[in-house]
Structure formats: C-alpha cells, structure tokens
Amino acid sequence: MNPMAKCCLLFFLLLAVLLPEARATSCHPDDLLALLDFAGSLNGGGVLLRVTWSGAACCSWEGVGCDAASGRVTALRLPRRGLRGAIPGTSLAGLAQLEELDLSSNNFHNISGLLTVLHGCQNLTTLILTKNFGGEELPGDGIIGGFKSLKVLALGDCALKGRIPEWLSQCKKMEVLDLSRNQFVGTIPSWIGQLHHLCYLDLSNNSLVGEVPKSLTRLKGFATARRPEGMTFTNMPLYVKHNRSTLGRRLNELPNVITGTNNVVRFGRNNVVSGNDNTVIFGDENTVSGNNHAVYGNHNTVSGNNHVVSGSKHVVSGSRHGVTGSSSVVSGFNNGVSGINHVVSGSNNIVSGSSNVVSGMNHIVVGNNKVVSGA
C-alpha cells in the first residue's frame, strides 16, 4: 500500500472513531448549564441523576430529548425518579426551546415558583406534574401568565388548594387538562367552555359545587359522564370528553383491561394495560405492557420500559424512547423519534421527518426517505 493510501486509510479510521463522539458531545452550552443546575439542587434521586448525567453530551442523558436539527433540549422526562426538593425553576428557564416537561410522581414543592418561571418558555406544549406539591395552593390570577402554546397540563393528585385560576383561560390551545384529585373549591369557571381544542377535561374528586356551566355543556361534540346536564354536585366526579366520531362513541362502550400494579387509564376505551406504573393519559385501543410508560394517543403498541409515546399507530419496544407523530416502529433504547412512518432501531438516534429507516447508534437524521445504518 502506497503512503498516500495509508494516509487516507488512517484518516478515515480516525474519523470513524471521532465522529460518533463528536455527535454525542453536541449540546448547547446554555442547555448544559441549565440541566446541571437543575440536577445539582435536588435531593433523593437527584444524587443518582447527577451520577448518570456526566460529561458534556447532554442530548444523550437519560430523560433528555433534543431537536435533531438544532441540538437544543426540547424535552425533559423524569417521572418516578424519587426526586425531592423545590424545583429549581430558574434553571429550567435556561432551556429556551423546551417543549415537554414531565416531572410526575416525584416529591417536589414550590409550584408557584416553578410556574412563574416556566410561563416564559414560549414553546412549552406539555407540562406533566402529577403527584407532587403535597397540598400547596395553585397560583392565582395576576401571578401567572403566558403558556400560550400549552396543549397538555396534568396536575392531578397533587392535593392543590384554592380555586381554578383564570390564567388557565389564556391557554387557548389546550387539548388535555387534568386537575383531578385535588382540593379545589368554588364553581367550574364558564371560560373552560371557550377552550375549543379540549379533548379531555378531568375535574373529578375535588370540592367543586354548583352546576356544569352551559358554555361547557353546549360545546359541539362534548358530553358529560356520571351526571345529567344542570345537576348540582359537591365533591363528585366530573369528566368531560370529546366524542369526535361514531367510532369514538362506539369505543365508549368498550372497557379497558388493566392488570399489574399501579397502572392507570385516565381517559379512553378499549386499552389493554399490563406491567407496572403505566399511564394512558388519553386515548383508545392502546396495548401497553412493561413499566413506566406514559401514552397519549390511539392505536399504539408499547412494550419495554420508560417510554413517552404520543400520536397514533406506533409500535414501540425497548427502553427510554420518546416518540411523537404517527405510524413509526421504534426499538432499541434512548431513541428520540418525531414525524411519521419511521423504522428506527439501535440506540441514541434522533430522527425527524418522514419515512426514514435508521439502524445502529448515535445518528441524527432530518428529512425524508433516508436509509441510515452503522455506528
């Protein structure tokens, strides 16, 4: 082999070694500092989190999702991690492109401080804080504003006190609102009927009194469960759902099949759930097994551990995937997938667009109809 050929071979071998590392270390410095600040102030499971969050490649850290094109952190998913303390909202404010935050089933406090900071996250669409805060009062009007992009807000089972605040009326894109199992008092505000994108509203197990507002009962396609229109109630369940089709009405007659431990279907029909600590937030005809999944959508098949799945018709296995969109097949672990019709296997891949086939590890794929493999 001549010297030039040897030189080229050495170059490509070196590139093969360094390129995955270069991809792995791609992390915006502002996001890196924000995440380290967040983890550094936590007790309990925060100790383990600080150990696992090492190095500078924050996009490959457990529970962290990034945008494939910009490398900015868009998702932070840390449910059931045993985290304790006041959520350091100022650190989360450093995640300028944050779209999804799931800190459910931990032991956090200071909801006022967190919401005051997060309302500045203009891209935030999903906020899941279920089972935290231990009886604090939800901040009232004049304290919180913003959240103009918010579509999913889950504050169930927090024992929150006070009244349902009017600042929620600013969330015009809201699709899912779960305020169940708290200690809210007063009446159901009429402005809820002006949230025209609502698919799921759960106000059950509070201390609300009075009548269901006419603005809510007259919304096209909505129906109330367990209570006829206009009936007064005190501390009784109230669910409101959106019947979008004949299929939806038919599914209402089909029960969920739930086995295992600590599995919950918040709203939906014909879901089959087994394993442990799984939650179907909203959706129909999902098949969920394994542990620690959160599912929002329809016709998904989910197995393995620690997935967050939204959209429809996904088949997800392995562990620690974040999947949005529709009709993707995802296996392996730590893959972030958005868009439609992808087939993704391997680990630590970030895929967006449509109809891509990706295998191997540490790939960032943006666009359509690409076939990518290797390490």
Task: Indicate whether 233 belongs to any domain.
Answer: no
Are residue 138 and residue 264 in the same domain, yes or no? Answer: no
Domain edge (last residue) among 192, 218, 244: 218
Are residue 305 and residue 212 in the same domain, yes or no? Answer: no
Are residue 101 and residue 173 in the same domain, yes or no? Answer: yes
Instruction: Kindly report the pTM of this predicted structure.
Output: 0.66
Task: Indicate whether 344 belongs to any domain.
Answer: yes
Are residue 317 and residue 169 in the same domain, yes or no? Answer: no
Residue 153 structural domain: 29-218
Task: Indicate whether 145 belongs to any domain.
Answer: yes
Domain edge (last residue) among 196, 218, 240: 218
Alpha carbon of 76 to those of 60, 100, 124: distances in Å? 12, 6, 11
CATH (domain of 53): 3.80.10.10
**Smallest Cα–Cα separation from 298: which of 222, 199, 201?**
199
Are residue 52 and residue 171 in the same domain, yes or no? Answer: yes
Write the CB contacts of 278 (distance below 8 Å, at least 6 apart in sequence): 260, 262, 263, 264, 288, 290, 291, 292, 293, 294, 295
Write the CB contacts of 349 (distance below 8 Å, at least 6 apart in sequence): 332, 335, 336, 337, 358, 360, 361, 362, 363, 364, 365
Are residue 319 and residue 174 in the same domain, yes or no? Answer: no
Query: pLDDT tens digit string along 106-162?
Result: 999 999 888 888 887 889 999 999 999 988 998 876 666 668 899 889 998 999 999
Percent of the chain with pLDDT over 70: 79
Residue 309 near residue 296 (C-beta atoms within 8 A): yes
Are residue 37 and residue 144 in the same domain, yes or no? Answer: yes
Task: Indicate whether 131 belongs to any domain.
Answer: yes
Are residue 177 and residue 38 in the same domain, yes or no? Answer: yes
Q: Which two tokens stand for residue 8?
A: 């080229």
Query: Out of 115-124, 151-160, 243-252, 294-303, which region has the weakest mean confidence (pLDDT)?
Result: 243-252
Task: Indicate whether 358 belongs to any domain.
Answer: yes
Query: pLDDT tens digit string along 36-87?
Result: 999 998 999 989 999 999 898 999 998 999 988 888 999 999 988 899 988 7
Domain count, the chain: 2
**Model confidence band, residue 273 (pLDDT cutoffs 50, 70, 90):** confident
Are residue 96 and residue 165 in the same domain, yes or no? Answer: yes
Are residue 298 and residue 191 in the same domain, yes or no? Answer: no
Residue 22 has pLDDT above 50, yes or no: no
Are residue 164 and residue 213 in the same domain, yes or no? Answer: yes
Are residue 52 and residue 158 in the same domain, yes or no? Answer: yes
**Smallest Cα–Cα separation from 164: which of 149, 146, 185?**
185
Four-residue CA torsion sign, 280, 286, 289, 295:
negative
Task: Indicate whether 227 belongs to any domain.
Answer: no
Q: Are strands 64-66 and 83-86 parallel, antiparallel or unpaired?
A: unpaired
At residue 229, what is the residue type? E
Torsion angle in degrees (nearest 10) through CA of 314, 57, 114, 143: -90
Task: Indicate whether 8 belongs to any domain.
Answer: no
Task: Indicate whether 236 belongs to any domain.
Answer: no
Rounded to the nearest integer, the mean pLDDT of the chain is 77
Which whole number is the average pLDDT over 305-315?
Answer: 78
Distance CA(358)–CA(337), nearest Å, equals 10
Write the CB contacts of 285 (distance below 8 Å, at least 6 apart in sequence): 251, 269, 270, 271, 298, 299
